[in-house]
Every structure is written in structure tokens, then in C-alpha cells.
Amino acid sequence: MKIERAEVIVTSPGRNFVTLRLTTSDGVVGLGDGTLNGRELAVVSYLRDHVVPLLVGREADTIEDTWQYLYRGPYWRRGPVTMAAIAAVDMALWDILGKRTGVPVYQLLGGRSRRGALAYGHASGTTVEALFTAIRNQLDHGFRAVRIQVGVPGLGKVYGVGTDQRAGERYDYEPAARSVVPVEEAWDTEAYLRHLPTVVEAVRAEFGEALPLLHDAHHRLTPNEGAQLGRALEPHRLFWLEDCTPAEDQEALRRVRSQTTTPLATGEVLNSVHDYRTLISERLIDYVRSSATHAGGITGLRKILDFAAVYGVRSGIHGATDISPVGMAAALHLDIALHNFGIQELMLHNERTLEVFRTSYTFVDGLLDPGENPGLGVELDDEAAAAYEYTPAYLPVNRLLDGTIHDW
């Protein structure tokens, strides 16, 4: 069964998504997510100009060979654009295989290892009180684990803090602002390091010791600052402290790890198993954050997570809304089948996105499930997709108070 058509579809129902649709000679259709927040068009060109011409005529069921062909063939390896393009092809081929064999993809990955995948939602507030409202909203929405992000006194908008919610409102935070140049935000690490531990203490006092709490430092600390924060948060027993240092500096976590037992997660910006070799083989992290969309698809992320399993490191797959519903579905099939599952991030897509991508995964009682539809279980509505044109949108840039560029 050969690949007969390959289409790259860009749609923007609230935010930009890149989807690859492959159609085989006997009419089976597969979808793959190649969305890279702020660099979507780079992936579109990589696919349209360098990958699609190679795909038409290839056998659709040679998934591993196609992955290796696209990974080794270009000579220039790894990187977010390449691995997002490979991811889109890989997911589409797994989708096709599932549809051809009449089973959900998780069955092809070894079958169900758990009833459902524990999800964590996002809660944020410019103040502690606003954060409490957001946490209550997420608990009311069925989440049993919550990431907490809070404003920092003296600073304006900071990472992860959307507009304050009223009771009952949905969390809706899209960091990529629609503009031709990125928004600039200001940062003060000292103010953040003084403030965050008091906020986590207040959350524990309000919501108790048992609620799994996660926090994302978003690459902003030095190794020693990461160690200080990890130690300061230790009494509050976080589920994880994410990206406390810039992820590509793998050795930075040696310092953090040696000073604190607060669990560590990193990797949403990492896209191949080679980017994790020190992190995993030295057990510097507890959770792998890469998404299937950014790490070469189901095949690429499976390679990372199988390597992680050898060292007792678990999955914590990235699931922000810049992972499309196709990418989320791919994650859920891995979540259900893998033994070393940890937790799954879930930011709920908005109504317009769900008009474009018809999903069949479910979120019930705090658990996600990919469902039983053959393949990945997501269909794309062309008419709805065509209604939402691409608009340039960039993630913010971050500067210290003296103007020095810092990590966002």
C-alpha cells in the first residue's frame, strides 16, 4: 500500500497548527502534527519542499524505515524543525496502520498498561487569591493534579500567568502573541526566588498536602539558583519542578540534583534521545517532557522513553495547546501503552480548535484515554480548517531588569 498524496494543512483556530495528511493508494488517510510554536512556516517548508516529494510512492507501512530515511537521509540531524517534520510523517503513518488493521494505535504499541493516563491542568494567577480560584476551577473541571504559576510582585506579565479567572471559568493561556515581532517581558530572578516558596506554602495550607502540584521555572535559573529553589520547595513535596535551568545544558542539573530531592522534569525543547543521554543515564531528571510532535513522532519519542525506562525515568509528555489534538492523541496512545508512564499535561483546546480537529480521546475523573477508534482517533474538517488563516504569532522574549536578554 503506497502513499499516493501528501498535503500540508496550516490552520489557525485561535493559534497556528501544522498538520500533514497522507492518503494511500487504497484511500486510507493518516494525520500527523508538525506544529512548532512561532516557527510553524519553517516546518511547512521543510515538509512541502524537502519531505513530501520523497513520500509519494513510498510504502505506507515501513514506519521505522521511513523514520530512519528522514532522520539520516538529510545528513543534517536533529533540531526542532527537522524533528517536527519527521513527527508529522511518523504520526500519519501510525494513524494509517491503525486504520488499516482496525485497531487504536496503542494496541500496536503493546496494548493497554493502565486504565487511564493521569492528567495535570494549568492554574495561574497574578496574585495568590487569583491562583486559588484557578486551582478550584481546575479541580471542579476534574483535574487531580495541577501546575501552579503565579505573578511576581514588581513584575508585569510573566510566563505561564494568563488573565485571572472568575469562579467556573476555563483556563485559556496562549503565550504566542499575534504580531510581527515578539512581545517583550521583564524578569527578576531574586524577586521570583523570594516569592514562589511563600506561594507554594500558601497553596499547601489551602489545598492540603496530597494534591499533586507542579511548577515550571521555564529555563530561567542558574544551576545554583535551581538548587536553592528545589531545596526551598522540598517541604512542600512538589510532583515536579520543571525546566529550572536551560534544558540544553544537561550538566547544569548535576548541581541541582546533588542539592535537592525535589523531583525534576525537563525536555519539552529537546527533540532526540541524544539530547537526553546525560540527563537520563546520570538520573538527573525524573520525567521526560518531550512531546511526540517535537521529538520525531511516536517512533522518536518511544526511543527516548524506552531509554528512560532503563534508568527509572518516567514520561511527562508536553501537552500545551500548541500541541495539536493530533499530537495530543499520539501522546495518549503512548501514555496508555508505555510501562514508564508518569503524567500527561493537558491544556484544553478551545472550541474553534475542536471544530477543526474532531477528537475521540476523553478526559474523565482526572484520567485521559485515547479511545478505541482505529488509528490515532482524530479527523480533520477541511472546511473548518480553511476558515482560520495563518497569522504570524511569536512566543515572548524575556529580559532582565537591566535589559539583558534572558530565557523566556
Active site residues: 159, 218
Instruction: Note whether 322 binds ligand GCO by CB under 6 A.
Output: yes
Determine how β-strand 367-369 pairs with β-strand 117-125.
antiparallel
Shortest Å distance, C-beta 4 to ligand GCO: 33
Alpha helices in 58-188 (DSSP H): 63-72, 80-101, 105-108, 128-140
Q: Which residue is nearest to Mg ion (CB)?
A: 216
3-state secondary structure of 214: strand
Q: Fill in the per-residue mask, 187 to 216: x = in contact with ligand GCO (CB under 6 A), - = not in contact.
A: -----------------------------x
**Chain centre distance of CA 91:** 15
Nearer to Mg ion, 21 or 318 (CB): 318
Q: Which helix (H) or strand (E) holds 336?
A: helix 325-337
Q: Which helix (H) or strand (E) holds 233?
A: helix 223-233
Residue 320 binds which entry of Mg ion, ligand GCO, none, CB below 5-8 Å type-dependent:
ligand GCO
Applying the rule CB under 5 A, the residues between 240 and 279 that interact with Mg ion are: 268
Nearer to ligand GCO, 24 or 324 (CB): 324
Residues 163 and 142: their CA atoms lie apart, in Å, by: 21
Stretch that binds ligand GCO, among 77-85, 254-262, 315-323, 356-364 (CB under 6 A): 315-323
Contacts of 170 (CB under 8 A, 6+ apart): 137, 141, 348
Short-list 22, 85, 29, CA closest to 56:
22
Shortest Å distance, C-beta 164 to Mg ion: 21
Q: Which listed residue (30, 125, 175, 296) binds ligand GCO by CB under 6 A? A: 175
Stretch that binds Mg ion, among 111-119, 215-223, 377-385, 386-394 (CB under 5 A): 215-223
191-214 burial, b if ≥16 CB within 10 A, otherwise e? ebbebbbebbeebbeebeeebbbb
Instruction: Note whether 216 binds Mg ion by CB under 5 A.
Output: yes
Q: Which listed residue (268, 275, 286, 369) binds ligand GCO by CB under 6 A? A: 268
Instruction: Note whether 320 binds ligand GCO by CB under 6 A.
Output: yes
Shortest Å distance, C-beta 250 to ligand GCO: 18
Residue 349 binds which entry of ligand GCO, Mg ion, none, CB below 5-8 Å type-dependent:
none
Residues 349 and 164: their CA atoms lie apart, in Å, by: 18
List residues binding ligand GCO (CB under 6 A): 37, 175, 216, 218, 268, 318, 320, 322, 345, 395
